[in-house]
Amino acid sequence: MYSLPESVEIRTGTRVEKILTQDGKAVGVATESGSFTAGTVVYSGFARSLPSLVSLPHEYTEKLSIIDQTTSLTVWLGLSGKMKEFDYIGSEVWFKDWAYWAMPISNYDPCIAPKGKQLVGFTFVLKGKNNLESEKKRAMDIIERAVPGIGKYIEMTHFQVTIPEKAAVTIKGYFAGQRSPIGNLYLVGTDTDKRSMGVTRAAYSVLELMKVMREENKL
* DSSP, res 30: E
CATH number at residue 50: 3.50.50.60
Strands 72-79 and 118-125: antiparallel
Q: What single DSSP character describes residue 2?
A: T
Q: Are 66 and 191 in contact, with CB atoms under 8 Å apart? A: no
Give the up-direction half-sphere exposure of residue 21: CA atoms within 13 A in the CB hemisphere: 15
Does residue 7 sit within a domain? no
Domain membership of residue 142 (yes or no) is yes
For 143, the domain range is: 72-162
pLDDT at 128: 67
Alpha-carbon distance of 123 to 13, in angstroms, equals 29
Looking at the 3D structure of the chain, how many domains does it have? 2
Give yes or no: residues 148 and 80 share one domain. yes
CATH value at residue 110: 3.30.70
**144 and 96 in a common domain:** yes
Task: Please name every residue paired with 31 in a beta bridge, in sequence order, or none if there are none.
Answer: 16, 34
pLDDT digits (tens, 9 = 90+) for 129-160: 678 999 999 999 999 999 999 999 999 999 99
Q: How confident is the model at residue 12 (pLDDT cuts 50, 70, 90)?
A: confident
Q: pLDDT (tens digit, 9 = 90+) per residue, 1-11? A: 788 888 988 88
- What are the tens digits of pLDDT across the range 144-202? 999 999 999 999 999 999 998 899 888 888 999 999 999 999 999 999 999 998 899 99
